Amino acid sequence: MIKKFTKKIKQAFFNQLPVSVKGDLIRSSIKIPVALSENMCFKIANTSIELEEAYTVLHDAYVEQTFITPQKNGMRIISHYVLPTTTTIIGKIDEEVIGTLSIIKAGELGVPMDKVFDISTFIEKNQTYAEISSLAIKKEFRREYGSEIFFPLLKYMYEYCTEFFHVENLLIVIHPKDEAFYNGLMFFEKIPNTGVIDYMGNPAIALVLNLKYALNRFEEFYKGKSQEKDMYSYFVKTRFPQFVFPKREYQTTNDSIINEKIFRDFFIEKGNLFENISLKDFMHLKDYFSNTSLGALFTDYLNIQRVIRSYHRYSVKMKGVVKDLDHNFIVTDLSQKGIKAKSVTPFERGIVYDLGIFINDQSVIYVKASLVRSNQNIYAFQLTHENLEWKAFIDALENLHFTKKAS
C-alpha cells in the first residue's frame, strides 16, 4: 500500500515537470541490454504457429489493458495483417513467442490509425510511412525479461525499417500519459490536432518519428554515454547474432509470408478474418488479391453468402439442440438454406452438424448443416442436405407470411 502511494506521488510530481526535464530523466534512467541470451531470437513471424502465438500474446495484452473484449479464437487479428505491406516481428525464447510488434506500411488499406486520425500531411508530401502497432510482451516475461524484449524489438524495427522496409516516417498511437516516454527516449513528435477522447476505449494521440532526423538526434543526445545508456550506438552500431533478417532473392521492400494455405487455414478458418472485418475492407482486399491465387477464396466466400441470403429469412426464436450432444442453442432466424443461431457453447468449422430445431413444443426437425461464419456467440449455418420436412416447414412459413389472405 505504501509503495503504491509513493509511486503515485512520484508520478504526480513527474507529470508537473517541463517536457525537456522529463526527457532528461527518462534518458538517464534507461538500461539497455548490451547482450542477449543465446536462447533468444528476433525475427519475422513466417509460419502459422508463429503468427498464432504472436496474435495470442497481443490479444491477451489488449484484453488485460481493456482495449478489446476477449475474442473467441483468443487472437487479435486485423485486416492489415494479411497484406504484404505488413511485417510482424516476434521475439522468442527457445521456441516460445514472448513479444511481438507489427510494422504496417501504408498500402491498400492505408494504416489503422488513419481511420481516426488525420495524417494527410504525409500523404500530401508523398512521404513513405508506416504505423508501429500491436506491441505486446507476454505477461509472465515482463518482469524478468522486459527490457531484454522491448529494446531488441525496437532495435530490430529500426534496422528492418532502414535497411529492408525503406520508410521515412514511423507513426504510433499512444495514451497521452506515455508521450514523455516516447518523446524523451526516441524523439517522437506529436502530430498536431490528433488528440481523441476514445481510441479503443481510451484517450489517444498520434506521434511521428522521421528516421533520418532521429538518427541525428540520437547521435546528439546519446553519443558518448555509457554503454547501457547509449541508444545511438545500440541502434546504429551494435549487431546481435540473435537477429534473423530476411534473405531476399530480389531487391524488394516487402516480406510477405502469406500464401494460399496460411491465408485459408490460419486467417480464414482459425482467425475468422472474414467474419470480423468490415465490408469495406473485405472488398478492398478482394480487389487487391483478385488476380492472385487468393482471389478464389474471396469469391467462394461471397458465393456462400449469396446462397444463404438468396432465400427469404424469417425472424424466429426457437430452441435448438445438437443431436447426441448436450449442446443447446437458440435459433434467431432461418431460411430454406440457412440458419442463424445464438449459442454459449461454440460451434466449429469443418463439421456437419445434426441440428434439431423445435418448431413448436411438440415438433422438432433435424437438419444437417455446417458453420459458414461466426461472430462472438452468433453462428450462421448453411444446410448441406436436402430435407423435405424442412422444405415443407419453410413453405408453411411463406404461406403464413405472404399468401394468407385477410378474412
* Structure confidence at residue 6 (pLDDT): 43
The CATH code of domain 31-273 reads 3.40.630.30
* Structure confidence at residue 275 (pLDDT): 80
Task: Say if CB 331 and CB 357 are below 8 A apart.
Answer: yes
Position 94, amino acid: D
* Structure confidence at residue 145 (pLDDT): 78
**pLDDT tens-digit profile, the chain (407 residues):** 444 434 444 444 445 555 556 666 777 778 888 889 999 999 999 999 999 999 999 999 999 988 888 888 899 999 999 999 999 999 999 999 999 999 999 988 999 998 888 888 777 777 789 999 999 999 988 887 788 899 999 999 999 999 999 898 999 999 988 888 898 888 999 988 888 888 888 899 999 999 888 888 888 888 788 888 888 899 989 999 999 999 988 888 899 889 999 999 999 888 888 888 888 898 899 999 999 989 888 888 877 666 555 677 888 999 999 998 989 999 998 988 899 999 999 998 889 999 999 998 889 999 999 998 887 788 999 999 988 999 899 888 887 776 544 44
Residue 242: closest CA among 167, 161, 148: 148
* Structure confidence at residue 407 (pLDDT): 42
Topology match between the domains 31-273 and 312-403: no
What residue ranges do the domains of the chain occupy?
Answer: 31-273, 278-310, 312-403
Q: Which residues have a Cβ under 8 Å from the Cβ of 357 and sit 6 or more positions away? A: 318, 319, 320, 331, 334, 339, 364, 365, 366, 367
Residue 185: closest CA among 7, 398, 358, 27: 27
- Three-state SS sequence of the chain: CHHHHHHHHHHHHHHCCCHHHHHHHHHHHCCCCCCCCCCEEEEECCCHHHHHHHHHHHHHHHHHCCCCCCCCCCCCCCHHHHCCCEEEEEEEECCEEEEEEEEEECECCECHHHHCCCCHHHHHCCCCEEEEEEEEECHHHHHHHHHHHHHHHHHHHHHHHHHHHCCCEEEEEECHHHHHHHHHHHCCEECCCCCEEEECCEEEEEEEEEHHHHHHHHHHHHCCCCCCCCHHHHHHCCCCCCECCCCCCCCCCCCCCCCHHHHHHHHHHHCCHHHHCCHHHHHHHHHHCCCCCCHHHHHHHHHHHHHHHCCCCEEEEEEEEECCCCCEEEEEEECCCEEEEECCCCCCCCCEEEEEEECCCCCEEEEEEEEEEEECCEEEEEECCCCHHHHHHHHHHHHHHHHCCCC
Q: Which CATH class is domain 312-403?
A: mainly beta
Report the predicted TM-score, pTM, of the whole model to 2 decimal places: 0.74
Cα-based angle 385, 386, 387 (whole degrees, multiple of 5): 110
